[in-house]
Chain A
Amino acid sequence: MTQSDVLTLITFFIVISGGTYILGEYMYAVFSKNNYTWLKIPSIIEIKFYKIMGINPDEEMNYKEYLSVLLIFNFIGAIVLLFILMAQGILPFNPQHLAGVPFWLAFNTTISFVTNTNWQAYSGENTLSYLSQFSGLTVHNFLSAATGITVLLAFARAFKTKPSHELGNFWVDLTKTLIYLFLPLSIILSIFLISQGVVQTFSPYITATTIEGSKQLIPLGPAASQIAIKQLGTNGGGFFGVNSAHPFENATPFSNFLEMISLLLIPAALPYTFGRLIGSRRQGMIIWSAMAILLITGLGIGLWAEYQGNSALSGLPFMEGKEVRFGITNSVLWGVSTTATANGSVNAMHSSFAPITGMIATINLMLGEIIYGGVGTGLTGMLMYVILTVFITGLMVGRTPEYLGKKIEAREIKLAIITILIPSALILIGSMIASTTQMGLSSLGNKGPHGLMEILYTYSSCSQNNGSAFGGLNANTAFYNSSLGICMLIGRLVSIIFPLAIAGNLAQKKYTPPSLGTFPTDNMLFVTLLIGVILIVGGLTFFPALSLGSIVEHILMQKGILF
């Protein structure tokens, strides 16, 4: 590790920690009901917008109303996107004259972008027109990310001290997230990215005549504007096929740093905002610390494994699938961050990481992307584990489980467990089918234990709405497009419906102030217990599968046995 690598890591954690405070306070100001004077002018636009849309911003919704509006809106968005993708051949902004996207691929891509997964079974530069990219995918990058945050906001309102059914207004939450958070941050980030060399134009591709006289195709497009929201909204769907490894998507080490910061910044600030919204900064930061410990542990193991070198190849460093400008440290830091959050963009090929580093990335996905996680959904996912932990500690000490003054009872616990288990079941059942049938196995790019990891990673990535890939697997087949589409859809619905149902339940409960009988959830003991529960649940569910994959691969590598 070079000196600048160490400086990058230090700068990275300083910026994330500082950003947690600044952005966390900002989001609190935006989402709380306090009327700050500096928000007066933008709020005129906001109110005007509600009028045009026919939205009554003062209308409160209960959990069923909130959920149904959310689902209707996303469903209509999906239909529009499916139409744009399939009809792109006859629509404008298509300088390369690309044909309409075939149905199964369009189906998969639509679900993928509406569910904030951004799994891509295609390469952008030879499949999608500029119109599909900016009026279809860019829009859903914004909307799916904002949808995730609305779920978290509704969940936070469940801890109001006054019992009621009300969880807020979906349209207001969505609009505020877009106007105050994603749009301004995306504009700033896009401009920085362009200044580094990320392309942004409507011009057609260029054919260059190289020094040696052959022809090279230089792909272009309105990329920077889409990449900005792809990073900020933990979407991760690349404009180009190789995502943020492509020099036009991530041109310099500085653009790389900005993109890494943006993929973690909002998820990291949300626990702080959550703490402020429920009236206890400390409760939010306790969750933040548990996430930080998991992230840094994963990063440490990943870096250690990667710097060991490939002992099956004369100990050479793992430079396959990495870019020189980033080097090993930046690639691992990105790989761990993008799987810990639900982002899923890549700047190096995860499939070519050291086996143990690849396993860390896979574990991050399998745990449900709760280590900061997706915008909104990551924290709600973590809160499911919090509920589980509160329940288990309650059983151990013989007290009624409580969280933030609300009693946790059978219904909440059942729903929380379902939320955690369904994606896990999707991963294991999906992988089982794929690894025992010809239609699953014929897509593999690597043989042996690495092949199993390709399948496990793919189903984890889709079921948990991440979207990154162990790219050796050819997923553009009817079997994978359809089964992964279903996994993405169920995974997303589960992560929205059940937390909202829990929120609806908790909101009606009486607030009981903490007493001697309350198990405190704001100290390091709770952090330890929470991490313990996460690792035990994850370990029990996935250890057998991982031990046949990455662990065997690691041992074979040390013995120099190739597959």
Chain B
Amino acid sequence: MKKDIIISIKYMIASTIILGFAYTIFITFIAQTFFYSRGHGSPIVSNGVVIGSELLAQEFKDPKWFWERPSATKYVTLDDKTNAPVPTGASNYGAINKDLKKEVDERVLAISKDNPAATITNIPPDLLFTSASGLDPHISPEAAYFQISRIAQARNMGSEEKNKLVEMVRTHVEPPQYYLFGMPRVNVLKLNMYLKQYYEQHPDPINNK
């Protein structure tokens, strides 16, 4: 009994050192050496400022931008006043929850403001439902194409420029990984970054606002 307790304590110390510290530090070392950016959250840096992570959705409210999927936790945006983060999380609504129906109806209404033809059945469903993480960085290609008319309107675009936007979305569609895994998708932040840079490089005196 006493012998077992002594071995247990020694074993616990050894495992904390080996499985806790050594293992974690070794893996961190590999991450730092070979995958520096990915290990650090795949940040997107512009003019020395981190504007977000390639892997995390961020909030877009302005109709000029492609919008992310709805988030149950405000995309972990810091509160203006308290500066406190909202933890990640999901709505966890069951299938017959009244609040789910209410929120979906509200989203349909909000979307149909900019897009009068939109109804609950023709809006891409990923724009109506919150994601699991609240940080889903992707939307379906349909959801990206769907938003083009709103963006074109907000940016006062002609039909030629609108076609450019369609082309932009098309080049940003990622197919299933290695043809095997996952769904075709569009990374919203990357697409918006591209959109931003494109209009910074192609200033158009009339339409660029």
Contacts and interface: CB of A to CB of B under 8 A. Distances in A.
Interface in A279-325: 310, 312-314, 316-325
Interface residues of B, number: 100
A23 interface: no
Contacts of A215: 77-78, 83
A324 B95 contact: no
Contacts of A246: 88, 133, 135
Given A194-B35, A225-B27, A326-B183, A125 B11 contact: no
A119 to B, nearest CB: 16
Contacts of A248: 41, 53, 55-56
A41 interface: no
A119 B167 CA distance: 46
B19 interface: yes
Nearest to B104: A313
Given A139-B19, A216-B75, A313-B104, A210 B51 contact: yes
A183 interface: yes
A125 B1 contact: no
Given A214-B77, A225-B24, A254 B93 contact: no
B50 interface: yes
Given A4-B181, A7-B179, A138 B20 contact: yes
Interface string B47-90: 00111111110111110010001000001111010010101111
Contacts of B132: 242, 245, 321-323, 331, 346-349
Interface in B132-171: 132-140
Contacts of A512: none
B42 interface: yes
A241 B36 CA distance: 24
Given A199-B40, A321-B92, A123 B183 contact: no
Given A138-B20, A241-B89, A445-B92, A195 B35 contact: yes
Contact of A208 (B15, B16, B52, B121): B52
B94 A450 contact: yes
A312 B101 contact: yes
Interface string A181-193: 0010011001100
A183 B132 CA distance: 30
A82 to B, nearest CB: 13
Contacts of B76: 216-219
B92 A247 contact: no
Contact of A135 (B16, B95, B126, B192): B16
B43 A321 contact: no
Contacts of B137: 247
Interface in B4-33: 4-12, 14-16, 19-21, 23-24, 26-28, 30-32
B95 A212 contact: no
Nearest to B175: A4
B41 A446 contact: no
A124 to B, nearest CB: 9
A216 B131 CA distance: 17
A499 B34 CA distance: 45
Contacts of A318: 95
Contact of A471 (B20, B21, B28, B89): B89
Nearest to A352: B93
A450 B100 CA distance: 13
Considering residues B125, B137, B182, which has the most beta carbons from chain A within 10 angstroms of its beta carbon? Answer: B182
Given A197-B42, A446-B93, A325 B104 contact: no
B15 A143 contact: yes
A54 interface: yes
Contacts of B104: 313, 316
B96 interface: yes
Interface of chain A: mostly helix, strand, loop or mixed: mixed
A187 B26 contact: yes
A194 B38 contact: yes
Nearest to A135: B20
Given A55-B7, A242-B134, A321-B130, A191 B30 contact: yes
Contacts of B49: 209
A331 B91 CA distance: 16
Contacts of B172: none
A212 B61 contact: yes
A54 B8 CA distance: 10
A107 interface: no
A4 B180 CA distance: 5
A8 B94 contact: no
A202 interface: yes
A206 interface: yes
Given A210-B59, A321-B131, A354-B95, A313 B100 contact: yes
Contacts of B97: 446-447, 450, 562-563
A199 B78 CA distance: 21
B45 to A, nearest CB: 9
Contact of B19 (A138, A241, A251): A138
A57 interface: no
Nearest to A6: B180
Interface string B181-207: 111010001001100100000000000
A186 B23 contact: yes
B96 A448 contact: yes
Contacts of B95: 310, 312-313, 318, 352, 354-355, 450, 553, 557
Nearest to A470: B92
Contacts of B120: 314, 316
Contact of A323 (B10, B14, B85, B133): B133
Nearest to B45: A208
A323 B185 CA distance: 10
Contacts of B28: 200-202, 222, 225
A212 B62 contact: yes
Contacts of B125: 316-317, 319
Nearest to B14: A53
Contacts of A254: 177-178, 181-182
Interface string A234-277: 00000011100111100111101100000000000000000000
A8 B181 contact: yes
B31 A352 contact: no
A77 B14 CA distance: 12
Contacts of B24: 134-135, 138, 222, 225-226
Given A69-B8, A214-B59, A225-B28, 11 more contacts: A54-B3, A54-B6, A135-B16, A138-B20, A197-B54, A210-B51, A211-B192, A247-B56, A312-B96, A446-B94, A563-B96
CB-CB nearest 8 A-B residue pairs: A253-B182, A450-B94, A245-B132, A253-B181, A4-B176, A135-B20, A472-B92, A327-B183
9 contacts: A2-B183, A69-B8, A135-B16, A217-B85, A224-B31, A316-B104, A321-B92, A321-B129, A472-B94
